Amino acid sequence: MPIIYHEASKEFHLYNQQISYIIEIMENGQLGNLYYGKKVHDRVSFSYLHQDEARPLGALAGNAPCELCLQYTRQEYPSYGTGDYRYGACVIEQENGSRITDFKYATHNIYEGKHKIEPLPATYVENKKEATSIEITLYDAVMDTEAVLTYTIYEELSVITRHVRFIHKGESVIRLQTAMSACVDLPDKEYDMLHLSGAWARERYVKTRKLEQGLQSIYSMRGASSAEHNPFIALKRRNTTEDTGEVMGFSLVYSGSFLGQVEVCSHDTTRVTMGIHPDTFSWKLNQNESFQTPEMVMVYSDHGMNAMSQTFHELYRTRLARGYWRDRERPILLNNWEATYMDFSEYEILRIASKAKEVGVELFVLDDGWFGDRSDDDRGLGDWYVNLKKLPNGIAGLSRNVEELGMKFGIWIEPEMVNKNSDLYRAHPDWILSVPERYETPSRQQHVLDYSRKEVVDAIFGMLDQMISESKITYIKWDMNRYITECYSRTASPEEQGKVMHQYILGVYDLYTRLTNKYPEILFESCSSGGARFDPGMLYFAPQTWCSDDTDASERLKIQYGTSMVYPISAIGAHVSAVPNHQLERCTPLATRAHVAFFGAFGYELDLNKLTQEELDQVRQQIDYYKCYRKLIQQGIFYRIKSPFAGNDTAWLVAAKDQSEAIAAYYQRMNLVNAGYLRLKLTGLCEERLYEVTAFQHTEKYYGSELMYAGIPIDRDKLTAQGGDFASVLFHLKAVK
């Protein structure tokens, strides 16, 4: 049993072959943290790891002999106000105005497996032997309220998941103002904080900062996890690299406003908290009501950043994503967005689809502009019925025509939004999030539907259900092209308005649940102006996400590199688009555009009819190549080798789990004049195996040890022959039997 409770020492030890996490019940009844890191041998008491002492200006947590000084004690789910002056994990306002709480240990329950935390998405197990869980119930006697802390440790992965459920039993009303999913207190501050930040078209850039006394944080108060900050933090030792050293990753399974915060105290301990952002949240609990926080996933590695990422990849690909498409190879698609935008006819769409079929595309996707009176951003959103002027045979007829060509059919929707110039808004102007008598802020000329209201979700489900049921749809791209402003529900009472932001996300999850349950074989791809809602909560419903609206191959290297810190390659929507690129006007080689997009859910986003015959032949070869190796790419082990944030070149590799095969890629940004020699050292291979290595249409044999430690020389002249700037090369490696 990988969770042990030592009765005599009142300690819990969560461990597997890779990690240990140790909790104590302290003298005052609260929970303390003794250790988190590489596995240590179990013993009846780890009390020697407890450190606290009275210091100047410190306040004691109890009378003698209990003389805990909480300000300097590592705790498990702390609160502010009784001697700990750091930010706590929970703040609860009571009827008398007090926010002081005192959650003490009451009981615990250890069990095999992992329970669901509906209505929220979360990781799961397929059999009870995969993981062990513990629920530790804390109790505040004054409020008559329980806080149930749940931990799950996976048997084969260096993963611990955590969440909290508040159960209020008292007669007096309480109000949750802060309810973090977890807190982790660490004994020192010798870490760099790595996070993924950016903006539209440059999402999830890798940022690193040294921890110092005070607060370091990432956040969203936008109603979505956002392009600005991804709900992920890693703390890595200063000497940690991709392949060596210690790192801890913290990822929130949530799609709404969040806070990830790291606090270093005056004596250099480090506190990590993560959860729903408290500045957009207030949740009233009446007697016998409860509140469930989202899940936080913790991953530990002492073998560098790659090992941390690979653990996240395995967990999120196989135990967060679900259903029909979880383990299936993703179809190669062509999306018409950058080919036509909203200006198209049925004839034009079928002409583009026919050419796509000729080169081997498997799925045609019709993007924005097919519904209502939709010819630009100003109108039509919310009217989910087909525009018969553009598509006389409707979606039903078009989808059947595409299938007759020999491809599957997919469609774009944006079900959370509405234009004021729409039939839906004219019928229900009160269905948007807005404040009476206040300006209603537009973004992209659209407004956000109030998904905290069941009748709104019901209405949208009804329209989409009718359209889907009448057609042959196997893929849906679900977009969200703005953030939330004026977060106010016209039907919620004043004291319930603090619930609306979270209830909105629950409404989104509800609609996803209904559609995925009714249409389990449809492949959903999440999108939010590209990657503005690329988070684990979405992956639970949609196993892939459109990575970014920026389709430029050179920029995508940074975006996909950062995304790979947490998310599996199979989840990264990546397309080849036209040049000059529509976002940057940059021209990159067709080969490089494919070499970048190969490392994701691959597709095209252009009008193939506009390519030359030579380019079409390249596209056919690209599609044949990807079909041959997509299972390896989508389900193999991904390694980052060279960072686009560190220099002129990027490299990565994906290897089969048994190390029998691999594909490596090298990309250079600018061509260099009279440059030095170039040699690429690979990783993830078997030292003793002999590999056939194919690149530049030439094959040689090398041992794994040579490839990893001596490296492969790359001829710069061959990169120059590709055009020099933005050139790339793929290496296919196959072990010789």
Question: Which of these, 499, 507, 543, 503, lies nearest to 523 by C-alpha position?
Answer: 543
Strands 214-220 and 229-236, sheet pairing: unpaired
42 is catalytic: no
Task: Measure the CA–CA gap between 460 and 413, rounded to whole angstroms.
Answer: 11
Helix (H) or strand (E) holding 622: helix 613-635
Tokens in use for 309? 């990422």
The partner residues of 291 in beta bridges, in order of sequence, read 166
Amino acid at 631: K
- Using the CB atoms, write b or e for 560-573: b if 16+ within 10 Å: bbbbbbbbbbbbbb
User: If you write DSSP's letter for every residue of 443-486 in order, what string do you get?
Assistant: BTTBEEB-TTSHHHHHHHHHHHHHHHHTS---EEEE---S---S
Task: Measure the CA–CA gap between 632 and 656, rounded to whole angstroms.
Answer: 6
Name, in order, each residue with C-beta under 8 angstroms of 196's C-beta and a sequence gap of 6 or more.
Answer: 203, 204, 205, 206, 207, 229, 230, 232, 562, 563, 565, 566
End-to-end CA gap in the chain: 40
549 is catalytic: yes
CA dihedral 37, 43, 47, 51 (to 10 degrees): -20
Catalytic position from the list 479, 550, 607, 649 = 479
Name, in order, each residue with C-beta under 8 angstroms of 167's C-beta and a sequence gap of 6 or more.
Answer: 145, 146, 147, 148, 290
Please give the DSSP secondary-structure letter assigned to residue 512. Answer: H
Name, in order, each residue with C-beta under 8 angstroms of 414's C-beta and a sequence gap of 6 or more.
Answer: 368, 381, 446, 478, 479, 480, 481
Task: Measure the CA–CA gap between 727 and 722, rounded to whole angstroms.
Answer: 6
Question: Which of these, 501, 490, 417, lies nearest to 460 by C-alpha position?
Answer: 417
Amino acid at 426: R
Catalytic position from the list 535, 549, 552, 607 = 549
Catalytic site residues? 479, 549
